[in-house]
Structure 1
Amino acid sequence: MKKTIGVAALAMLAFNSVASGNSIVLPESESQRLIAGNLSMTAESFFKAYMSTDLEQRRLAEMYVLGVIDSSEGDSWCGFEIASPDAIQEQVYTGLKKALDESPKERASAVIKSRLKELLPCKVEQ
C-alpha cells in the first residue's frame, strides 16, 4: 500500500520537471510523465519559479507547494484547522526567502516543511 501511495505521489509531480535557471521546465513530450529532478529542487531554483512573472511557472510552483503541504500535514506540521491558506502561503514565502540567504541549495520541500513545522507544530499527546 505504501508503495502504491508513493507511486501516486510521484505521479502527481509528473507534470513538473527539473528546475533549470529561473523556471520549472516542462516535459519535452506528453509521454514524458515523471522527471526525477523534481524531487531535489533547490530552494533557490524553486523560489525563482515561485516568484516568476510567467503565470505557468507560478502555477506549477504553487502546485508543488500544495503537494508538499498536503503530503506533510499531520506528520511534519499541523495547522489547516488553525491557519488559513493565505497565512500558510505567507509562511512558505518567508521560509523560502530566509533559505535564500542561509541555505539556497537545500531542497525546497525540506525548507517548506521545516518552516511549517517551526510555526505550526503538531501537539504531542501525553
Structure 2
Amino acid sequence: MRVMVRIALIVTLVLDLAGCYRIIKMPDIATASVYGPQVSGGSLSPQEVARLSTWMKAHDAGWRGLMGTPPAPIALAIVMRDPSGGQTTLNLFESKDGTATAYFYAPNPASPLERYLSKADVAALRAAVEN
C-alpha cells in the first residue's frame, strides 16, 4: 500500500511540473526595435522583423511563469508591436557560457514568462535581429 501511495505522489508531482510549461501564442509582429549594450539598436528592417517573427514562432513552447526577479543587466531587449499597436517585450539575460534566460512580457498572458535558451537559440535570435 505504501508503495502505491509513493507512486501516486511521484506521478502527481511529475504531472504538476510538466504542466508548468506552456505553449504561448506568439504575437504577429508589425514593427520591432532592439536595444542592448553591445547592439547598435533601433528599429528593425522588414526583413529582420520577418526573421524575428519566425524565431519567436519556433520558440513558442517551454515558457513558464516568472519564478523570481530577472537578473541584471539585460543583454538584449526587443520591443515588438502588433498591427493594432499592442506592445510585447522580450528581454534576454545571457550567461558566460552563451546560454540565456528570456523573459516575455505581453498583455496576454498578463504575468511575465521565462524560458531557457540554448547557445544555438541565442545565436539564432541575435542573427535574426542584428545586421
Give the shorter-chain TM-score range. Answer: under 0.3
Higher strand share: 2
For normalisation by structure 1, the TM-score amounts to 0.27
For normalisation by structure 2, the TM-score amounts to 0.26
Specify which structure has the bigger relative contact order, considering alpha-carbon pairs within 8 angstroms and separated by 6 or more residues: 1
